[in-house]
Amino acid sequence: MSALATARQTYERWIWPSNFEALPRHRRAPIRLVRMLMALVAEFRDGEITLRAMSLVYTTLVSLVPLLALAFSLLKAFGVDNALRPTLERFLAPLGSGSSDIVDKIVGFVSNVQVGVLGVVGVVALIYSVLSLIQKVEAGCNFIWRVRAPRPLARRVTDYISVLVAGPLVILAAASITASLGRNSSVAYLSQLEPFGMLLYGIGRLLPYVLYSIGFTLLFKFIPNTRVRFLPALGGGIFSGVLWQTASVGFALFAKNAGNVNAIYSSFAILILLLIWLYVSWMILLMGCRVAFWLQYPERLARGSYPPRLGAAEAERLALLTAATVASRYARGDGPTDVALLVHLLRAAPDHIHNAIARLVAAGLLVETADASDTSVVPRADLSTLRVRDVLAVVRSGDRQARLVPRADVPVQAVDSLLARADTARDNAIGETTLRDLVEAVPRHDG
């Protein structure tokens, strides 16, 4: 056996062991980390996230001035509307000394935005450009979390306005805490004493990582239109916060030594660097959101394509399990069942759950509710009237236009006759079984 084949076998045994779930936690953690790194490389190769990041760069350029004008107009109620310049300076600091010119231009543009002069059409266009940026961020996070339905319009407006207010406040709080620590007399005195000086120096270096991790955690927790658990959001937030702060330091060094860029693009070099930095920032956000998704659903770090392709039999089984699970919870008085819970209970891909729910809702077997952040469903009628054969027929029936009309020399009649006999035999076996029959057949577990 060659050395390459031996190395491949060792890799297969270590990364994809057959008894992975039986391994102790301290052995599963590094394997999961390696799988996650491999999956991130695959995401780059796939190109979907990079395309979304580039789209967000374009939308940012179009919406940046309206976004800042609206956000800091709302912040006037808090008396912190003068935080625009320090916020921009902190975000654009990796661009180097040339960032001050961009900050001056943006601040000037924002100052010239006068809502009273714009008129109704101008105000609507202003608000639309701002909401479109946040909507694209939500759409990117929803894509990563396999969520198909965006927020309802009313919730979208209120949630987006909350983001517009909370975002600058978080950045301002981070800058204020850092500045206060630097000006505090007690802190200055302690910094001259060892080991307090070294300790305070370390805290000062770590503080940006902590604050940005908190900011990204809040984004990953509340932006996707699904139920994100806190620990996965925290893991993704730490990943993005540490990576963003590290990337800002590295990008500052790159911008400082980018002589070739300055030589080629001259006065446009700072704009090129701005585009690159926006792209890097959006990539970090989307990758952190993906990490949070994998932490909540670690089984998605499996081999092969995701989601896996369902066969006809497994699609029928999933639809019936979905309907029976929703019916069982409703019969127990647990109320609506959302997609995140179905994914957890059935251990299925969110895409497959969304497909099953969409078909069952379209067929009138389930109905969506609007009382949760994720798609939630309940049975549309009494469980005694919802037949199993109707659930299975939802999967078997497709678009009528998709029915084949073969040529005359194809054995159509023989095939249709065989399938009809098979359907009759299955219908006889299923009979008039309803979802209530399935629910009552499940043993109850008290406690």
Q: What is the 3-state secondary structure (H, E, C) of the chain?
A: CCHHHHHHHHHHHHHCCCCHHHCCHHHHHHHHHHHHHHHHHHHHHHCHHHHHHHHHHHHHHHHHHHHHHHHHHHHHHHCCHHHHHHHHHHHHHHHCCCHHHHHHHHHHHHHHCCHHHHHHHHHHHHHHHHHHHHHHHHHHHHHHCCCCCCCCHHHHHHHHHHHHHHHHHHHHHHHHHHHHHHHCHHHHHHCCCCCHHHHHHHHHHHHHHHHHHHHHHHHHHHCCCCCCCHHHHHHHHHHHHHHHHHHHHHHHHHHHCCHHHHHHHHHHHHHHHHHHHHHHHHHHHHHHHHHHHHHHCHHHCCCCCCCCCCCHHHHHHHHHHHHHHHHHHHHCCCCCEEHHHHHHHHCCCHHHHHHHHHHHHHCCCEEEECCCCCCEEEECCCHHHCEHHHHHHHHHCCCHHHCCCCCCCCCHHHHHHHHHHHHHHHHHHHCCCEHHHHHHHCCCCCC
- Give the chain's end-to-end CA distance (angstroms, integer): 56
Listed residues 248, 278, 300: the one ending a domain: 300
* Domain limits for position 165: 45-300
| Domain match, 289 and 183 both | yes
Residue 67 is encoded by which pair of tokens? 């976004």
Listed residues 251, 280, 300: the one ending a domain: 300
Listed residues 269, 300, 331: the one ending a domain: 300
- Residue 86 within any structural domain of the chain: yes
Predicted pLDDT of residue 242: 92
- Residue 89 within any structural domain of the chain: yes
Report the distance separating Cα 228 and Cα 222, nearest Å. Answer: 8
| Domain match, 294 and 342 both | no
| Domain match, 204 and 272 both | yes
| Domain match, 295 and 193 both | yes
| Domain match, 156 and 287 both | yes
| Domain match, 63 and 123 both | yes
- Residue 277 within any structural domain of the chain: yes
Instruction: Report the chain (447 residues): mean pLDDT per 10 consecutive residues.
Output: 69 73 76 84 81 87 76 63 70 77 76 62 72 83 82 71 67 61 58 63 75 87 86 93 89 74 65 87 92 86 74 89 91 86 85 88 85 75 87 79 73 84 86 86 55
Residue 356 is encoded by which pair of tokens? 């099953």
Across-strand partners of 377?
337, 368
Report the distance separating Cα 330 and Cα 357, nearest Å. Answer: 15
- Residue 429 within any structural domain of the chain: no
CATH code for position 357: 1.10.10.10
For the chain, the domain total comes to: 2
- Residue 25 within any structural domain of the chain: no
Predicted pLDDT of residue 258: 67
| Domain match, 272 and 175 both | yes
| Domain match, 238 and 344 both | no
Predicted pLDDT of residue 446: 44
| Domain match, 63 and 199 both | yes
| Domain match, 338 and 251 both | no
| Domain match, 157 and 223 both | yes
pTM, two decimal places? 0.74
| Domain match, 330 and 288 both | no
- Residue 170 within any structural domain of the chain: yes
- Residue 267 within any structural domain of the chain: yes
Closest CA to 142 of 362, 351, 357, 372: 351
- Residue 39 within any structural domain of the chain: no
Residue 34 is encoded by which pair of tokens? 């390696």
Predicted pLDDT of residue 77: 61
